[in-house]
Structure 1
Amino acid sequence: MQTVSNVSQLRSKIKSWKQQGLTVAFVPTMGNLHAGHFSLVDKAKQIADKVVVSIFVNPMQFGKNEDLDKYPRTLVDDQNGLIEHGADLLFTPTVETIYPKGLEAQSYIDVPGVSEGHCGASRPGHFRGVATIVNKLFNLVQPDIACFGEKDFQQLAVIKTMVEDLSMPIEIIGVATKREESGLAMSSRNGYLSDEEKQQACALYQIMKNAESALKDGELSIAEITEQAHLAIVQHGFKLDYFNICNANTLQPATNDDTNLVILVAAFLANVRLIDNLQVTTA
C-alpha cells in the first residue's frame, strides 16, 4: 500500500489505474480505524479492482463545543490495518491541502431535507461539513464506488441524496453496522469508555431491539413505543439526545402507514455521545 498526502500524487496514481480500465472504490475516514472501518475496506475489495482510503480529521464537521484536538490520531496502526486488509492507496492530506483558503472562505454543500433533524438538529453545521468534505474528496479521488457504514444512517442518507442531486457518477454502497459481541456498535468514540461503561452502553442496542419487537407486534402506537424507549434509556444511565422512529427513506417521523422504518438514537454516556440505528420492516 502506498501512502500519499499530495494531490498530484493521488491523481497521478488514480489516472494510471483508470487508463488500465480498472475500477476504483473509495472509503473516506477520519482515522482511528477499527473493525467497522476495515469491513468497509473488505467490501470495497470485493467490488472494485483498486481501493483508496482517506484519513482526514475534518474540522468543518466539528461543532463549537466538540474538541477537534482530542480526536485520536493513530496513523501507524491505521496503516498497518489497511495493509492487512488489502487497501491499495492511502490519502492523508493536511488541513491546508483540503482548505487552502481557510474554513471561512471555503465553498460548501448543503443537503436539505435528510440533513435536518436528528443529528442535524443536535449538531448544527455538522452535515454541511460532512457533505462538503465528501464532495471535495470525491472530486479528488474520482471513484466509481464509495463505501460508507450504515451506523451513521443519516450521514449515509445525506451522501446518497447529494450524489443523486448533483448527478455524480458514483455508486454509494452502505455496509452493515459492525458490532461487538455485546451488541454495541463499533465506533472510534468507544475508546473513551471504560470496560464497565462499554457494558452499560450495549443497552442502547437492546432498547432498539425491544422497540423493533413492539413495532412488529403492532399492539402499541409509535408514540407509546418511543416513550417506553425514552424511559429505558434514562433508566440505564444515559442522557438522551433523541430516540426517533422514522420512515427509512425520508427520515421523517413514521406514520402507521409506513412499513420500511428506521430507529435512530443518540445518547450521552460519561460525556461520550453514542449513536446507533436499527432498520425495521413491519410488512
Structure 2
Amino acid sequence: MQVYQDKQGLQAAIVGLKKKSKIVGLVPTMGALHEGHLSLVEQAHQVCDAIVVSIFVNPTQFNNASDLEKYPRTLEDDLALLEKNYKNLIIFAPQENEIYGEEITSEKFNFGNLAFQMEGKFRDGHFDGVGTILKRLFDIVRPDKAFFGEKDFQQLLIVKKLVQLTQQEVEVIGCPISRENNGLARSSRNKRLTATEIEKAGFIYEILKKAEKKFGTKDALLVKQEMEEHFKNSQDFLDLEYFEISDAETLKPISEGFDHRKKYRAFVAAYANDVRLIDNIALN
C-alpha cells in the first residue's frame, strides 16, 4: 500500500499507471472508515485496475464549526483497516494546505435546484464545499471513475452535476447503501454513538421502510405527514429535522399524486443527541 501526503508524489505514481493504460478509480472519504467505505472500494475493485482512496476531512463543507471539530479523525486506524483488506491501494492523505494553500475558501457553483433542497436548506454553503474539494481531487488524481455511496444521494446528484459543469472526464458511480444489522445506514458519525444509541437510531430505517410500503397506496403528502407524526410520537430519542418524498432525478418535493413514469425516494435527516444522521430509500 502506497501512502502519499503530497500531490506531486501521488501524481507521479498515477502518470505511471496511465502510461500502462490502467483504469484508475477514486474513492473519496473523510476518514473514520467503516464497512460502508470498504464496500465502495470493493465496487471499485470490480471495474478498476488501480484505486486511490483519499482521506481528508474537508473544512469547507462544514457549516457548523463544532461538527467539524468533533468529526472523528482516525488516520492510523483507517490505514490499518485498508491494509488488512487490500494490499495494492494508493492512499492520498493530505494536510489542508496541500489542498487549499494559504486560504481555505470554497468556490461557488451553480448546481441549480439540486442545491436548494433538503441538505441545502439546513447546511448553508455545504455543497459549494463538496464541489470545491471534489473538483480539486479530480484535478489531482485524474481518475477514470469515482465511487460514492447512495446514503448521500443528494450529494451523488450534485457530484454528477459538478462533472457536467467542470467538464472533468470522470465517470461518477453510485453504490448501494451499506447498513448495520438493524438497518441504520453506516456513517463515520456512528462512531460517536453508543451501541444502545445505534440500536435506537435504527428507527430511521424503520420509518423509511414504512414509507416504502405505503407509497402508492395513498396520497404521497399524507404518507409524508403520517411518517412525520410516527417519528415524533413513537420514540423520544431522535429529533426529526426533515422527512421528504422527492423526485429521484430533480429532488423536487412531491406535491400531489405521483407520476408512474418517475422515480421517487424518501429522505430523512434526524439528530441523535448532537449527531446528525441522514438516510434515504427508493420508493418505486
TM-score, normalized by the shorter chain, greater than 0.5: yes
Whole-Å separation in 1 of the counterparts to 2:4 and 2:21: 22
> What TM-score does the superposition give when structure 2 sets the normalisation length?
0.94
Whole-Å separation in 2 of the counterparts to 1:154 and 1:15: 32
Provide Cα deviations, 1:118-144, integer angstroms capped at 9, x if missing partner.
011111011110011011100000000
Counterpart residue identity of residue 272, structure 2: L
Contact 1:247 1:258 in 2 (8 A): no
Provide Cα deviations, 1:176-203, integer angstroms capped at 9, x if missing partner.
0000111111111111112221111101
Whole-Å separation in 1 of the counterparts to 2:60 and 2:270: 22
Whole-Å separation in 2 of the counterparts to 1:26 and 1:85: 17
2:96 aligned with 1:95? yes
Per the alignment, residue 265 of structure 2 pairs with 262
SS at match of 1:174: strand
Counterpart residue identity of residue 226, structure 2: Q
Q: Which runs of 5+ in 1 are unaligned?
A: none
2:229 equivalent among 221, 231, 240: 231
Counterpart residue identity of residue 262, structure 1: R
Deviation, 1:233, is 1.5
Provide Cα deviations, 1:145-197, integer angstroms capped at 9, x if missing partner.
00000000101010011112332211111010000111111111111112221
Per the alignment, residue 6 of structure 1 pairs with 6
Deviation, 1:108, is 4.0
Distance 1:208 1:120, change over 3 A: same
Whole-Å separation in 2 of the counterparts to 1:108 and 1:10: 27
Deviation, 1:206, is 0.8
Counterpart residue identity of residue 16, structure 1: G
> What TM-score does the superposition give when structure 1 sets the normalisation length?
0.94
Deviation, 1:112, is 2.1
Which stretch shows the higher mean deviation, 264-273 or 50-59? Answer: 264-273
Provide Cα deviations, 1:59-86, integer angstroms capped at 9, x if missing partner.
0011135432221111111112222332
Per the alignment, residue 83 of structure 1 pairs with 83
Distance 1:126 1:19, change over 3 A: same
SS at match of 2:33: coil
Per the alignment, residue 36 of structure 1 pairs with 36
Whole-Å separation in 2 of the counterparts to 1:257 and 1:270: 34
Per the alignment, residue 156 of structure 2 pairs with 156
Contact 1:52 1:90 in 2 (8 A): yes
Whole-Å separation in 2 of the counterparts to 1:71 and 1:156: 21
Runs of 4+ in 1 over 4 A off after TM superposition: none
Whole-Å separation in 2 of the counterparts to 1:252 and 1:63: 23
Per the alignment, residue 125 of structure 2 pairs with 125
Whole-Å separation in 1 of the counterparts to 2:197 and 2:64: 26
SS at match of 1:147: strand
Alignment RMSD (CA, Å): 1.4
Contact 1:42 1:85 in 2 (8 A): no
Contact 2:107 2:129 in 1 (8 A): no
Q: Which runs of 5+ in 2 are unaligned?
A: none
Number of aligned residues: 278
Per the alignment, residue 190 of structure 2 pairs with 190
Whole-Å separation in 1 of the counterparts to 2:36 and 2:84: 14
Counterpart residue identity of residue 176, structure 1: P
SS at match of 1:273: strand
- Calculate percent identity across the aligned residue pairs: 40
Counterpart residue identity of residue 104, structure 2: L
Per the alignment, residue 57 of structure 1 pairs with 57
- Once the two structures are superposed, the pairs formed by residues 97-112 of structure 1 within 5 Å of their partners are 97-104=98-105, 107-112=107-112
Whole-Å separation in 1 of the counterparts to 2:149 and 2:140: 21
Counterpart residue identity of residue 75, structure 1: L
